Structure 1
Amino acid sequence: MLDAPTLPLSRKQLRSVAQASARINIWHGAVRSGKTIASLLAFLLAVAEAPPSGLIVIIGRSLQTIERNVVEPLTDTSLFGPVAAQVRHTRGATTATVLGRTVHLIGAADSRAEGRLRGLTAYLAYVDEATLLPEAMWTQLLARLSVPGARLLATTNPDSPAHWLRVGYLDRAAELDLRAWHFKLADNPSLTAAYVTSLAAEFVGLWRRRMIDGAWVIAEGAVFDMYDEQQHVVDTLPTITRHWVGLDYGTTNPFAALLLGLGDDGRLYVVAEWRHDSRKARRQMTDAQYSAALRGWLTGLGIPDPEWTFLDPSAASFLAQLWEDGHPGVTRAKNDVLDGIRSTSTALAAGLLRIHRSCTGLLAELPDYVWDAAAAAAGVDQPLKRNDHSVDALRYVVHSTAAEWRHLLHRQGVSADAAA
């Protein structure tokens, strides 16, 4: 028998653990709502009860997310007490040992990952962040759970109401051998009021409704619906103490560069913008010419050496050109579109991000940056791909520097301004 976790558990958490005996068991809802701890406890009990010959797998978006979201919590004695000592894993390895059993860790970053499941027969599967898996991977996994008593345990945050997991499984729970539990922040008894308030400040708009309220809602309308020209556009700048650059590379499409700075007032400012639209200019530029123009622009601003320059990761040739020309701090931007949108939305909603009026390309794009209605109807969250070059550069630099500014969200001055 396993020892109880060291953290207090709510009635809903305990009930879900006791009832997780269906073929498909799904914990869904808000972030930090207690669903992961409950699901992991159910997983440990299932491992302890699994027959010696039953294959056990953990599946997530990548091996790294499995390690972060599943393995690390399982080895945390503050969560699972002495049981945590019976979970062993070497970082980067594709297997772990849980309660003496070998558990296979499988990343599922794209639809090709589905092939990794073919040929195996599993008794127990744990899926982390289920909505981020390709549907083919989920379908193949269920087919592999073919032995009597086989079970799937999964967690997820809400997504679009048209997502395949919602439409094909959660909405059909009564027809399937499926049990699901919906969690809100109030269902986690270990969270303090101060932490809940701090966490809620990090999510706005669509993400607040999904991650904080735990609602399956559609992405529609303006992506940055919190953007307000009266609040976010400025004519003067404070003293800027740090500088970063975001670049969206284009040859036939516009090339956009933004200079982001940290002001001595504790806010972020888009200080300046440089763009080249080859169609309007009727002249394309080479990588070498772009590199020289970028250096000239920054030198003219008095910022020849920004701390970092974040570039669209797909622009390999231009990245090589910048390295060859000795541009300082050039690196690939973090380019997960939704994560970048969320970071930018958070900074705008908190009143942390301001844009100088001279950045005309960015200011023209922001109001028209909208969710793709056709994609949303298919259960996919993605912005409409049009007139987004400066916005992409903004995503790159804001999200890639999030570790440098996220602590500013909770400063009293910014919080008061955001509430105004």
Structure 2
Amino acid sequence: MTGPLPLSDKQLDSIRCATARINIWHGSVRSGKTIASLVRFLLALRRAPASGLVVIVGRSLQTIERNCLDALADPLLFGDVAAEVHHTRGATTAMILGRVVHLVGASDARAEGRLRGMTAALAYCDEVTLLPAAFFRQLLARLSVPGAMLVGTTNPDSPKHWLRTEYLDRAHELDLAEFHFQLADNPSLSPEYVAALAAEFTGLWRRRMILGEWVVAEGAIYDAYDEQQHVVDELPTMRRYWLGVDYGTTNPFAAVLLGLGDDDRLYVVSEWRHDSRAAHRQMTDAAYSGAVRAWLDGRHAVPEWTFIDPSAASFLVQLWTDGHPGVTRANNAVLDGIRSVSVALDSGLLRIHRSCAGLLGELPAYVWDETAAARGEDKPAKVDDHSVDALRYVVHSTAHEWRHLLTASASCSAATLPT
């Protein structure tokens, strides 16, 4: 294989040493582990027994195409080998180095059935921690051809995750080689890029994605929140507004108004809440719609978009009927949303007006669920989370609007990045 692909000493060492039945590269994002694992896959593909199938598995066909095939077909990464990678978008097979490679998406436990009856000689696994445990076990069972090999890569997860407890921690018992990479192991990255990347992760995700640690989700979710830093008594002029709504009937209803100030910071300008239990009075969808409109009119604020709890179908219909502008379902990816809010807080981009009593009361008490963490799951405790959910909806759903504002603060903090 020839081409312009430069490899670090650590990448080369991992490729040479990956001779076990199971070979796993794990660690931080952009650390070079994926490229090293793909090179090892290509070398194994050249020598793979002809009697078994070759498979690439991932969370979905789309992630396989994006993370694996697009990289392999890039001549800037793989030189002349890229010309030997042939795939039609959406097809479940590819031709790589003259060998048919089967592409298998594994989004849930039912995917295990796709492996039944298969005899495999070589498997590449993209983001192993995102695969169902039963699927991974079945895949290993199907690698029954003499000399069969699995090559996989992943970012760290909880230390209770099945990949860590059942395989990596038992490497000395199994025919398994594991290679840990940190961001500093990729010498080709510029300091500016490393600073920008590190700014996109904070708290739990910083330890996992930047430092490459397998750490448990514990304690406060927004551990960067500091009342002295993040709470303000005065607001600048707002250039834009967005609204996030967590709908509730017996549970509290919370609406959070987010503004972009003329100082290029985000501000939670105001919130509106109704707790039917405390007020001893439930409100209808029409009453909620009217109350929210009156509150916004009082603020002289017209949100460009209103992001609603996706489960609140009836309230969405009510707002559409009442002509509320820009109504849409919020992006309810919980962990990604928590990460967006964490980044905005940790970078100093987000401020909260002192009048938002409900949100300010919930933020310090918003914690990870200890019972879920013991099972290896990252889940927030479902207690007093109404305003923080509304905040998550509006901050995460608008991330594409404000993420570029992190660049300046990221470059300023480059000197303090972990190495």
TM-score (norm: length of structure 2) = 0.93
The within-5 A match list for 1:381-392 is 381-392=378-389
Match of 2:407 in 1: 410
Aligned residue pair count:
415
C-alpha distance in structure 2 between counterparts of 1:56 and 1:123, whole Å = 6
Deviation of 1:85 after TM superposition, in Å, equals: 2.4
Describe the shift of the 1:16–1:330 C-alpha distance in structure 2 as closer, same or farther (beyond 3 A): same
C-alpha distance in structure 2 between counterparts of 1:91 and 1:294, whole Å = 45
Which amino acid in the other structure matches residue 246 of structure 1? G
Which amino acid in the other structure matches residue 244 of structure 1? W
TM-score (norm: length of structure 1) = 0.93
CA contact (8 A) 1:117 1:141 kept: yes
The within-5 A match list for 1:235-384 is 235-304=233-302, 306-384=303-381
CA contact (8 A) 1:350 1:414 kept: no
C-alpha distance in structure 1 between counterparts of 2:91 and 2:305, whole Å = 32
Deviation string 1:95-149 (CA, Å, 9 cap, x unpaired) is 3332233323222222233233233222222111111222122112212222222
The within-5 A match list for 1:131-210 is 131-210=129-208
Describe the shift of the 1:3–1:213 C-alpha distance in structure 2 as closer, same or farther (beyond 3 A): same
In structure 1, the residue corresponding to 2:267 is in which secondary structure? strand
Which amino acid in the other structure matches residue 199 of structure 1? L
**How much is the aligned-residue C-alpha RMSD, in angstroms?**
2.1
In structure 2, the residue corresponding to 1:152 is in which secondary structure? strand
**268-277 or 114-123: bigger deviation:** 114-123
Deviation of 1:157 after TM superposition, in Å, equals: 1.0
C-alpha distance in structure 1 between counterparts of 2:314 and 2:22, whole Å = 47
Describe the shift of the 1:13–1:253 C-alpha distance in structure 2 as closer, same or farther (beyond 3 A): same
CA contact (8 A) 2:48 2:148 kept: no
Which amino acid in the other structure matches residue 363 of structure 2? L
Which amino acid in the other structure matches residue 186 of structure 2? N
Deviation of 1:408 after TM superposition, in Å, equals: 1.0
CA contact (8 A) 2:195 2:411 kept: no
| 2:32 paired with 1:22 | no
Deviation of 1:412 after TM superposition, in Å, equals: 5.2
In structure 2, the residue corresponding to 1:210 is in which secondary structure? helix
C-alpha distance in structure 1 between counterparts of 2:313 and 2:40, whole Å = 45
CA contact (8 A) 2:23 2:178 kept: yes
Gaps spanning 5+ residues in structure 1: where? none
Deviation of 1:369 after TM superposition, in Å, equals: 0.4
Match of 1:36 in 2: 34
C-alpha distance in structure 2 between counterparts of 1:48 and 1:320, whole Å = 57
Which amino acid in the other structure matches residue 293 of structure 2? R
- Identical positions, percent: 72
Match of 1:45 in 2: 43
Deviation of 1:414 after TM superposition, in Å, equals: 9.4
Deviation string 1:42-79 (CA, Å, 9 cap, x unpaired) is 12222232234432222222233222222221222211
Deviation of 1:413 after TM superposition, in Å, equals: 9.9
In structure 1, the residue corresponding to 2:139 is in which secondary structure? helix
C-alpha distance in structure 2 between counterparts of 1:284 and 1:328, whole Å = 25
C-alpha distance in structure 1 between counterparts of 2:358 and 2:89, whole Å = 44
